[in-house]
Structure 1
């Protein structure tokens, strides 16, 4: 049986392992974090296309159980005026977008992988790969920082934005680009007037004078919020204090007639800031024995909120190609042909949204057509929901 070494135990890695298991291919996950990385990130959205890809591998249930829905988007100006409302694409075709903490998604995917007998090795940071000559072809060995190694028939780099696998495949590969914005997420128990947003099952998007703000209300009443904050790239090892970020973000919305500043002030220390990057294209996705998926191959700015769904799609499509093709290289080629155009289109759409939120009040108040933030999945030309209507036939 073919054995796959999966580098990275995040969303892409866990989903790929389960999809390979369904395809009858052995997989083992190697994660650099010493534990399950339960504290990684803030919260995210899995859209209809991502949920449908999970359904293909019978992994949709745990995600639905640990998340809550959003059915519409409400757009508000810095003066508090309602600019528009619309349903989120995909809400009429089964489960619509689901919101959950990134740590929760990691946890439920890892639990489901463990239930299927998939091994996850923690504390394994990839530093090199080596070819392994075999009578029936060449395999690959992963070499880890702790001096250990593992051998397999192929290696899948699901190791994220700052991928080691990507650099091993192509040392000249482009590096992620900083978009000029920080993304800050937080949680608030602030009690708002009943007629003030955010409303249940709604994402309220506020086009402030100085920054962009979004929020939704969880079933227990807690408000989950994020802000796209223009600013310099900070040291990832020293992102700053939650209190400092809370003051900075709240200050950007103090002059607006919206609930944004009050929500940020009411938050506690659960404030998480990250740099916003994208990776529009890389020339080489694979070798004969190695391939990259998810953010390691393509990364969109967070504005379109499709990162998790794209990673999920990647894993299922790659597993199907490995099941149906005679060797890893032909499977990798088929996977790239099926995925490159779509994911690069998503990256471009999200970059367009990021530019609009940085253009000042006039630009920020014109939502990008055909994107999840604006509630549509169409491309603005033919009205087709190209983004959320995507389906994988197993």
Structure 2
């Protein structure tokens, strides 16, 4: 079907566990090199109820372009986010960063709900011939050296040349592949947010998200042309289970958020006043900096299952899409042999672990401080850091990474 891409001699069957955002893109990439992927998803269909927002950065959009999905993702996005303005709680600018001007128009960063992104990449993969099996929750898998067999909780099974865990930060594939692997680490931040209708605040500049390093917490928001505003906040807090968070009560979390941003920009309070109560129920944020292994035999991991980066990096989905292309390229070279997974891990590990470390450092700056001197030092250091980034383009190693199914990756240093 895709004559411009070299294909492998024999069709490799690939069992992809997880139909979130990484799984469908990996399946589409594998199909383009002649493999036969099947996506097995635990839920009954794409998770349309997911409401969290995420950014797809230029490097992620470049990967989506390679599998014919970039225009559909851009069309489904809520808005373009090509610049980021950083201010402190008083509104004083700390820095302004933007996409590099030489990027193609279709590779400018966008903000999209996870539900919309999952739906779009799933539909696109199906149109490209990928098969999906729903209500297939993995129980475990076995690898006899010649093939790998997945067993699901409905007592059915499936066999293939490779099994790929694209099943998120709490990966069931990882539990079997590496039962002694480190567990995801709580970043110290709870996340809240959502959409609010038009509010009486000055609009953010065109295609610009404003990030506010408040005195005690972190707030981000961007206004659409019609005035609707997307917002989120990160609150420093001890780790809480889902049950503990629910027991606290949404009204209590709402009051806590207002207290944390009291004295910061008045726009933050006005946005929160317009928000539904449910937008204040927080979720813990986690990362997974490094695993001893991403593969064993004929089973491997990609996306958050292999390297969950903090949301502060802005790279979670984009790195998963890069993984998908690198994995497909190695399958094109090595077929369904375990060597494909080993080569994929070697090609990806250093980059994603470096970005995961960046995300953790950024997140550590969000909790604020009770000491004015500490806040002054934070603001000064951040102004200097953003000035250096603007002058020397030191983030280009992240966003200017380009992936292609036929050629080696390109990274601009």
TM-score for both structures, normalised by structure 1: 0.91
Is the contact between residue 301 and residue 350 of structure 1 (CA under 8 Å) also seen in structure 2? yes
| Aligned CA distance change for structure 1 residues 142 and 376 (closer, same or farther; 3 Å) | farther
Aligned to 2:143: 131
Of residues 157, 165, 177 in structure 1, which corresponds to 2:173?
165
* Alpha-carbon distance, 1:178 to partner: 0.6
Provide, for residues 285-332 of structure 1, a one-character-per-residue CA deviation record: whole Å limited to 9, x for no partner.
111110000111111111111101011111111011111114431111
Aligned to 1:130, the other structure's residue is in SS state strand
* Alpha-carbon distance, 1:247 to partner: 3.2
Aligned to 2:155: 147
Measure the CA separation in 2 of the matches of 1:150 and 1:269.
Answer: 44
Aligned to 1:29: 39
Aligned to 2:408: none
- 2:308 pairs with 1:296: no
**CA RMSD of the aligned region, Å?**
2.3
Count of aligned pairs between the two proteins = 384
Provide, for residues 29-74 of structure 1, a one-character-per-residue CA deviation record: whole Å limited to 9, x for no partner.
1111223111225111000000000111111111011112112111
Is the contact between residue 48 and residue 91 of structure 1 (CA under 8 Å) also seen in structure 2? no
Of residues 84, 94, 101 in structure 1, which corresponds to 2:113?
101
Alignment of 1:69-218 (within 5 A): 69-89=80-100, 92-94=103-105, 95-132=107-144, 138-193=146-201, 196-218=202-224
Measure the CA separation in 2 of the matches of 1:93 and 1:376.
Answer: 24
* Alpha-carbon distance, 1:114 to partner: 1.5
* Alpha-carbon distance, 1:389 to partner: 0.5
* Alpha-carbon distance, 1:266 to partner: 0.8
Measure the CA separation in 2 of the matches of 1:35 and 1:90.
Answer: 39
| Aligned CA distance change for structure 1 residues 131 and 336 (closer, same or farther; 3 Å) | closer
* Alpha-carbon distance, 1:257 to partner: 3.0
* Alpha-carbon distance, 1:103 to partner: 0.3
Is the contact between residue 161 and residue 336 of structure 2 (CA under 8 Å) also seen in structure 1? no
Say which is worse superposed, 278-287 or 384-393, in terms of deviation. 384-393
Measure the CA separation in 2 of the matches of 1:91 and 1:162.
Answer: 38
* Alpha-carbon distance, 1:349 to partner: 0.3
Measure the CA separation in 2 of the matches of 1:13 and 1:3.
Answer: 14
- 2:279 pairs with 1:273: no
Is the contact between residue 358 and residue 364 of structure 1 (CA under 8 Å) also seen in structure 2? no
Aligned to 1:4: 14
Say which structure is richer in helix. Answer: 2
Measure the CA separation in 2 of the matches of 1:349 and 1:106.
Answer: 26
Say which structure is richer in strand. Answer: 1
Measure the CA separation in 1 of the matches of 2:393 and 2:72.
Answer: 35
| Aligned CA distance change for structure 1 residues 206 and 251 (closer, same or farther; 3 Å) | same
* Alpha-carbon distance, 1:206 to partner: 0.7
